[in-house]
């Protein structure tokens, strides 16, 4: 199974945050960035699927501050491939980001796309549904478990609801699944292993599709 996980770089909320002169955004000159927390859970769920059922994991990201370190860390955790989409620009809304990522996904072998359920910087939770719409595949969000069935053509997912309710459903592949939480906490990648990956591996790059090519 080919699994692709799009990840987004977001401000590290552990750091002190300052508002810029416009009063409408954070001052980027003082920000540090990290992978969105929910995307880290999506990466972990992908790695668990690979370990338990076989397959290959590709991590995909739009170019952003500190994204190289983040992608190398995903490789150190066990991802097989890391791909950076360049030339997309900054400050993209979910619609534009989804169009660019969908164009990239169409060029990759892909049975299953795992996204974080939402990003901590915008909280709109729309990337997964928008990706699924652009790709013309099913989508389920707020998922806490993904298990392949029927020879790898279907996955059984557990979707969380309020009051602790959980629904189980089967989803035909290819599909986009929004991960609320992985089946275990995201694993840690030792700094020494990340540095070794940086020395021996080169990140792949793909130019972002232009607006007229993404619709």
Collapsing DSSP to helix, strand or coil, 113 comes out as: strand
pLDDT of residue 83: 96
pLDDT of residue 215: 43
Residue 98 dihedral angles phi and psi, to the nearest 5° = -65, -40
Tokens of 83: 């791909």
pLDDT of residue 212: 52
Strand 112-116 versus strand 175-179 pairing type: parallel
In eight-state DSSP terms, residue 66 is T
Prediction pTM value: 0.89
165 vs 11: which has the higher pLDDT: 165
Q: Are 114 and 57 in contact (CB under 8 A)?
A: no
Chain segment 143-195, per-residue pLDDT in tens: 999 999 877 799 999 998 888 899 999 999 999 999 999 999 999 999 999 99
Chain segment 38-60, per-residue pLDDT in tens: 999 999 999 999 999 999 999 99
Chain segment 105-137, per-residue pLDDT in tens: 999 999 999 999 998 888 888 899 999 999 999
Which of 182, 201, 177, 185 has its CA nearest to residue 71? 201
Q: Are 98 and 139 in contact (CB under 8 A)?
A: no
Residue 213 has pLDDT above 50, yes or no: no
């Amino acid at each position: 199974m080919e699994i692709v996980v799009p990840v987004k770089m977001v401000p590290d909320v552990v750091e002190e945050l300052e508002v810029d002169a416009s009063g409408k955004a954070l001052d980027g000159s003082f920000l540090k960035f990290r992978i969105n927390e929910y995307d880290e859970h999506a990466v972990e769920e992908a790695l668990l699927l690979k370990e338990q059922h076989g397959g290959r994991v590709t991590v995909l990201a739009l170019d952003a501050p500190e994204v190289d370190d983040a992608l190398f860390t995903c490789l150190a955790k066990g991802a097989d491939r890391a791909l950076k989409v360049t030339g997309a620009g900054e400050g993209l809304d979910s619609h534009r980001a989804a169009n660019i990522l969908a164009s990239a996904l169409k060029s990759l072998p892909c049975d299953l796309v795992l996204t974080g359920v939402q990003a901590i910087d915008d909280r709109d939770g729309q990337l997964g549904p928008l990706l699924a719409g652009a790709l013309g595949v099913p989508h389920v969000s707020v998922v806490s478990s993904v298990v392949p069935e029927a020879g790898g053509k279907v996955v059984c997912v557990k979707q969380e609801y309020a009051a602790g309710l959980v629904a189980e459903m089967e989803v035909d592949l290819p599909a986009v699944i929004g991960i609320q939480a992985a089946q275990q906490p995201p694993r840690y990648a030792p700094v020494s292993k990340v540095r070794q990956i940086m020395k021996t591996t080169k990140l792949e790059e793909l130019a972002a599709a232009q607006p007229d090519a993404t619709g």
